[in-house]
């Protein structure tokens, strides 16, 4: 059953089109991953779902409630954990949770029980009565997550919740998310960590430049790529012409498909080989015949990064790096201020 329906969603910030007619469907009680490099539009989508940003066009329904027409009803259903953790440094963690529960109109008994439970679940007993200003990144994230879960939301929306976290905090959060999903909560998790989405998500969408480029379960998306993924280099840094020649050689071999020249990795060649065939011997012969030597050759199971690479011609990491220089974070921060 589609619990959340997003139809033709679009949003622009002055001259930048953050979302371009995005359509997604999310089932109830699943963990849905939103994967994409920084600047792909993930946070804009998350903010629209959290009723913080109004879209320019399109519709969103949560449990058949129109998000744009009834934002308050939606707010009762959702818990939101923002990318930038905004805590009141002066309050203690317990005071913050108490404050938050009043904003969700919880009664005293309910409030006391939920706060106690979450403190135990997220292992916050040792430091919950310290001021938030003294917390480490992991502690801040845990208290932030606890405040998003206080009112037992039907949908939990998390925007890159494990960025910069230590392994212990990350594991605690992952375990909690698995438990919440098992209890029937619908979870929307945006991340640019491939392993996080691969491990946790039942289904996912990959967003690039404000558009959906792939959608399905992690297994479906990886299986679509066919066999194993090979990354080949004939020199540490090849030229475009060289890479093109090799690409032509590879395309003549039966059983090799989806050949991509990866410019950002020294013109390495990525391709897929049929599992059933032993093509590597043939490949070596063909390359030697054209006077190429193998500098490096790596074989791996298809990953979500390969799905991204297949769709965009670049890896997620390369996309991140290329976006870093282009983004004006100060301007974006001002634009997102109410």
Q: Looking at 60-68, 72-80, 223-231, 266-274, which segment touches other proteins (CB under 8 A)? A: 72-80
Q: How far is the CB of 60 from other proteins (least distance, A)?
A: 15
Output the six-digit token pair for 61: 């329904």
Q: Does 86 bind other proteins (CB under 8 A)?
A: yes
Q: Does 51 bind other proteins (CB under 8 A)?
A: yes
222: helix, coil or strand?
A: helix
Residue in this structure with the two tokens 């390369």, named with its chain if needed: 318
Q: Does 212 bind other proteins (CB under 8 A)?
A: no
Instruction: Name which of 59, 70, 52 is nearest 23 in CA terms.
Output: 59
Count of alpha carbons within 13 Å of 186, Cβ hemisphere only? 17
Alpha-carbon distances of 212 from 24, 58, 215, rounded to whole Å: 8, 15, 7
109: helix, coil or strand?
A: helix
Q: How far is the CB of 133 from other proteins (least distance, A)?
A: 10
Name which position in 3, 32, 61, 80 contacts other proteins (CB under 8 A). Answer: 80
Give the integer Cα–Cα distance in Å for 62 and 19. 19
67: helix, coil or strand?
A: coil
- Residue number with CB closer to other proteins (75 or 284): 75
Cβ atoms of residues 203 and 216 within 8 Å: yes
Q: How far is the CB of 307 from other proteins (least distance, A)?
A: 31
Q: Looking at 31-39, 61-69, 76-84, 277-285, which segment touches other proteins (CB under 8 A)? A: 76-84
Give the integer Cα–Cα distance in Å for 33 and 40. 14
Give the integer Cα–Cα distance in Å for 249 and 65. 55
Q: How far is the CB of 294 from other proteins (least distance, A)?
A: 51
Q: Does 277 bind other proteins (CB under 8 A)?
A: no
- Site mask, other proteins, residues 305-334, x = CB under 8 A? -----------------------------x
Residues 179-208 that bind other proteins (CB under 8 A): none
Q: Looking at 103-111, 218-226, 296-304, 306-314, which segment touches other proteins (CB under 8 A)? A: 103-111
Q: How far is the CB of 338 from other proteins (least distance, A)?
A: 6
- Cα torsion 62, 64, 69, 72: sign: negative
- Interface residues toward other proteins, by CB under 8 A: 50-52, 72-73, 75-76, 78, 80, 82, 84, 86-88, 90-91, 95, 98-100, 102-105, 131, 147, 334, 337-338
């Amino acid at each position: 059953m589609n619990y959340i329906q997003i139809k033709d969603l679009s949003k622009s910030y002055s001259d930048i089109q953050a979302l371009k007619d995005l359509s997604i469907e999310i089932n109830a009680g699943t963990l849905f991953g939103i994967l994409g490099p920084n600047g792909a539009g993930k946070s804009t989508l998350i903010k629209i779902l959290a009723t913080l940003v109004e879209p320019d066009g399109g519709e969103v329904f949560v449990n058949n409630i129109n998000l744009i027409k009834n934002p308050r009803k939606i707010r009762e259903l959702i818990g939101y954990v923002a990318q930038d953790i905004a805590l009141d440094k002066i309050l203690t963690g317990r005071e913050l949770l108490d404050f938050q529960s009043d904003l969700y109109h919880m009664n005293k008994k309910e409030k006391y029980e939920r706060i106690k439970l979450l403190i135990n679940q997220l292992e916050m007993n040792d430091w919950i009565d310290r001021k938030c200003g003294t917390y480490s990144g992991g502690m801040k994230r845990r208290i932030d997550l606890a405040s998003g879960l206080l009112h037992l939301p039907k949908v939990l929306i998390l925007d890159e919740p494990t960025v910069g976290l230590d392994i212990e905090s990350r594991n605690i959060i992952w375990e909690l998310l698995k438990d919440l999903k098992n209890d029937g909560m619908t979870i929307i998790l945006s991340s640019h960590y491939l392993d996080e989405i691969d491990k946790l998500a039942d289904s996912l969408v990959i967003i690039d430049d404000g558009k959906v480029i792939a959608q399905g379960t992690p297994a479906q998306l990886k299986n679509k790529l066919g066999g194993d993924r090979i990354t080949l280099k004939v020199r540490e840094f090849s030229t475009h012409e060289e890479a093109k020649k090799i690409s032509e050689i590879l395309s003549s071999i039966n059983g090799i498909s989806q050949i991509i020249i990866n410019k950002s990795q020294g013109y390495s060649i990525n391709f897929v080989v049929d599992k059933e065939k032993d093509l590597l011997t043939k490949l070596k012969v063909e390359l030697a015949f054209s006077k190429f030597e193998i500098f490096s050759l790596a074989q791996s199971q298809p990953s979500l990064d390969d799905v991204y690479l297949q769709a965009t011609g670049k890896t997620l990491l390369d996309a991140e790096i290329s976006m870093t220089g282009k983004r004006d974070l100060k301007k974006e921060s001002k634009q997102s201020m109410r």
